[in-house]
A and B are shown apart, each in its own frame.
Chain A
Amino acid sequence: MDFKDYYKILGVAPEADLKTIKTAYRKLARKYHPDVSEAKDAEAKFKDVAEAYAALKDPEKRAEYDELRKYGQDGQSFTPPPGWQPNGNHSGDFSDFFESVFGGGAPHTQSRGQQTQHKTHFSFRGQDIETELPIFLEETLSDENKTISYHLPQHDKEGRRLADINKTLNIKIPKGVNDGERIRLKGQGGAGIGNGGSGDLYLHIRLIPHPLFDVEGHNLIITVPIAPWEAILGTKIEVPTLAGSINLTLPANSQTGKRLRVKGKGLPGKTGTGDLYAVVKIVIPEKTSEDTTKLWETLSEKTTFNPRSEWSKT
């Protein structure tokens, strides 16, 4: 177990007053709070910050910590001095270090509040687990079986935290799930203690970006590259969908940005299946032969088309 320098975590001097500590906490909380931050390690960072604040805002805890701080250095291995008796009774999802200093708390409770304590043993409902589940667009087309694995926290009878175990489940992803939806798996979270039931597992659906298709609600968008002459003359194009490909008729004189709707080839949803939109993008060849260049020159001489006519109006 490593020593944690709570002053360093909050970026304050060891003699800082409560007001400074509170201001530092607020500032870091706004930066790293998992509900507002996009930073990759926001959750872990915020946990450290909240833990440091919990230790330093309470004068008793702070005095205990200052006493211990004489024996430890940030990031170095730490064992409480012989005879150290943690006397606090807190509850919160804090580190082993915090618990060894201030006493073993109850397992994580969202509110860090109410707990049920009987005379001789605890009863806790197990922890709810939330985890992201990235899925491919193809996997939303039908009910899919998927194997997921996640870390499950373990506690002994007294509520002390043990090493996490890795749990694997075979689950069914219902057809038509969409980005941001949550799936609840009852009783698949952390085990309860005493008479407490198991917690639940919540899977937070994330659609993995597709190399060809963009998602807009339940509609899909595919960008269709076409040659300039195809844009002018029109053509038939084989367009991929999530399940097989379809033939699409591109009408003559199709501009870049033109959207062609293919009904019912989008993502399935509760209110019906979305559509696929093919968006035209005119591309030119990387190299042009001498013969072709001559043809373009002829074209350029014969046409009166002014693509920038809009500009001359102002």
Chain B
Amino acid sequence: MIETSLTVELSLEDICELAKLPTEVMITIVEEGVLEPKGEAPEEWCFDCYMLSIAKRAVRLHRDFDIDWSGIPLYLDMINELEKLRSENRTLRQRLGRFLLEE
């Protein structure tokens, strides 16, 4: 049996390795507010699995659309909002479908 985990704590070094990013870039990402790790100084920072997936997405947006790191949080918020609305829309449509009849 393989061990599975939902909550993982990652240090700055861990997340840099997993996201394949140099430390300076990761520090920029945090300073620009893309990620908000627990802890004050970089050596105390603690990230989780969800932050890793955000970091990877931020890297993709930065690379594929030439978006400045300072602009990334806005894009991430908008994509989050989009995903939330799409999922809400799917759920509401499914619920509405139970009350509407096919013509």
Q: Which residues on the A side are within 8 Å of B21 (C-beta)?
A: 110-111, 113
Q: Which residues on the A side are within 8 Å of B20 (C-beta)?
A: 109-111, 113-114, 125
**Minimal Cβ-Cβ distance residue in B for A201:** B2
Q: Which residues on the B side are within 8 Å of A50 (C-beta)?
A: 64
Tell me, rounded to whole Å, the shortest Cβ–Cβ distance linking B81 to chain A: 12
**A171 within 8 Å of B by Cβ?**
yes
Q: Which residues on the A side are within 8 Å of B95 (C-beta)?
A: 214, 221, 223
Tell me, rounded to whole Å, the shortest Cβ–Cβ distance linking A93 to chain B: 12
Q: Which residues on the B side are within 8 Å of A214 (C-beta)?
A: 91, 94-95, 98
Tell me, rounded to whole Å, the shortest Cβ–Cβ distance linking A266 to chain B: 14
**A36 within 8 Å of B by Cβ?**
yes
**B41 within 8 Å of A by Cβ?**
no
Q: What separation, in Å, do the CA atoms of A170 and B94 have in the docked complex?
A: 32
Tell me, rounded to whole Å, the shortest Cβ–Cβ distance linking B75 to chain A: 9
Q: Which residues on the B side are within 8 Å of A34 (C-beta)?
A: 60
**Minimal Cβ-Cβ distance residue in A for B88:** A216
Listed stretches A62-70, A178-186, A238-246, A294-302; interface member: A178-186
Within 8 A of A (CB), among B28-66: 49-50, 53, 56-57, 59-61, 63-65
**A310 within 8 Å of B by Cβ?**
no
Q: Is the CB of A181 within 8 A of B6?
A: yes
Q: Which residues on the B side are within 8 Å of A26 (C-beta)?
A: 65
Using known A-B contacts A171-B2, A214-B91, determine if residue A184 contacts B59 with beta carbons closer than 8 Å: no
Q: Is the CB of A125 within 8 A of B91?
A: no
Q: Is the CB of A29 within 8 A of B49?
A: no
Tell me, rounded to whole Å, the shortest Cβ–Cβ distance linking B84 to chain A: 10
Q: What separation, in Å, do the CA atoms of A209 and B95 have in the docked complex?
A: 11
**A60 within 8 Å of B by Cβ?**
no
Tell me, rounded to whole Å, the shortest Cβ–Cβ distance linking A151 to chain B: 17
B interface residues, tally (CB under 8 Å): 33
Q: Is the CB of B2 within 8 A of A29?
A: no
Q: Is the CB of A112 within 8 A of B63?
A: yes
**A275 within 8 Å of B by Cβ?**
no
Using known A-B contacts A35-B79, A112-B63, determine if residue A182 contacts B50 with beta carbons closer than 8 Å: yes
Cβ contact of B57, chosen from A35, A38, A111, A145, cutoff 8 A: A35
Q: Which residues on the B side are within 8 Å of A171 (C-beta)?
A: 1-2, 4
Q: Is the CB of A177 within 8 A of B6?
A: yes
Using known A-B contacts A26-B65, A29-B65, A281-B98, determine if residue A183 contacts B59 with beta carbons closer than 8 Å: no
Cβ contact of A169, chosen from B2, B53, B63, B65, cutoff 8 A: B2
9 residue pairs, one from A and one from B, having the closest CB atoms: A223-B98, A110-B20, A111-B20, A183-B4, A109-B20, A214-B95, A171-B2, A184-B49, A172-B4
Q: A111-B20, A184-B8 are in contact. List 16 more A-B contacts (CB 8 A).
A: A29-B64, A29-B65, A50-B64, A110-B21, A111-B59, A171-B1, A171-B2, A172-B4, A173-B4, A184-B5, A185-B3, A200-B18, A202-B49, A202-B53, A209-B94, A214-B98
* 22 A-B residue pairings within 8 Å (CB atoms): A33-B60, A35-B57, A36-B79, A38-B86, A50-B64, A109-B20, A110-B56, A111-B19, A113-B20, A113-B21, A113-B22, A170-B1, A180-B87, A181-B6, A182-B50, A184-B8, A184-B49, A214-B91, A214-B98, A216-B91, A223-B99, A256-B99
B-binding residues in A (CB < 8 A) = 26, 29-30, 33-36, 38, 46, 50, 109-114, 125, 128, 145, 169-174, 177, 179-186, 188, 200, 202-203, 209, 214-216, 221, 223, 256, 281
